[in-house]
Amino acid sequence: MQDLKDTIDLKRLPRHIAIIMDGNGRWAKEQGQDRLFGHYHGVESVRNIVEGCAELGIEYLTLYAFSTENWERPEKEVSGLMDLLVDTIRKEVDTLNKNNIRLHVIGNLDMLPPFAKSEMQEALEMTSHNTGMNLVMALSYSSRWELVNAVKNIALDAQAGKLDANNITSDTLENYLCTRNIPDPELMIRTSGDFRVSNFLLYQLAYTELYFTETRWPDFRKKNLYEAILDFQGRERRFGKISEQVNKGQHIG
């Protein structure tokens, strides 16, 4: 595995990796277990991947932990996930601080049960002085919720005379998203074999490289992360231009 890690070009790392951590339920079912068993094991992967990203020097890691639509799941699963969230945060804050990792949350925290919301806020506060990797948890998050919210707030500010609608630019909109001050992800990984984005960072993923793997989230480890980064480093990102324009050394006027 060290060999694989050594082949990563540290000068061309993605600044921001976003992950749709999918497949906990299917993983559990394959073991003949309850879905929550999969979520518990998924936490091990979170630890491993946070550590892996921090070791490499990734600046931002965003993890899709719970979507707006996930509130529609059976009540037993939702409450089990909330308990797991609170339990994990409590256990991990010290480790985050030891590793200088700052926690952020994007999503509608008002939807969380009060005990989970206050635990989250406390963890945000307790890690707010850290200056190393930024760990962004997408919690009760969906991109459509985020965009509707942004539009609503822009309209309210325009109405209140705080901004001129004629001067709205992409920068204005970006300032109203949950991800303001966070660069767009360069690499987005989805585990467990489905090829979709499920309402995740729809605006921010405009030019992100997408990587899909069959590996279920509870089985995803640093080795799989390195594979995804190496795949990313083999791609040519053109941003709408042509190959010769983006290849250094070959100047096209």
Strands 102-106 and 16-20: unpaired
Report which secondary-structure segment, H or E, holds 54.
Answer: helix 35-56
From the CB of residue 43, how many other CB atoms can be counted at a distance below 10 Å?
Answer: 17
Q: Which of 22, 92, 146, 186 binds Mg ion (CB under 5 A)?
A: 22
Dist CA 91 CA 192 (whole Å): 27
Per CB under 6 A, does 101 bind ligand IPE? Answer: no
* Active-site residue (options: 3, 6, 9, 22): 22
List helix spans (H) across 176-237: 222-233
Catalytic annotation on 22? yes
Choose among Mg ion, ligand IPE, none what residue 194 binds, the Cβ cut-off being 5 to 8 Å by kind: ligand IPE
Residue 103's DSSP bridge partners are 135
| Residue showing tokens 């994990």 | 88
Minimal distance, residue 89 CB to ligand IPE, in Å: 15
Q: Which of 13, 17, 18, 20 binds ligand IPE (CB under 6 A)?
A: 20
Q: Which amino acid is present at 34? A: D
* Active-site residue (options: 34, 48, 70, 199): 70
Residues 42-71 that bind ligand IPE (CB under 6 A): 64-67, 70
Binding-site size for Mg ion (CB under 5 A) equals: 1
Q: Give the number of residues written for the chain.
A: 253
Residues that bind Mg ion (CB under 5 A): 22
Residues that bind ligand IPE (CB under 6 A): 20-26, 64-67, 70, 81, 192, 194, 196, 198
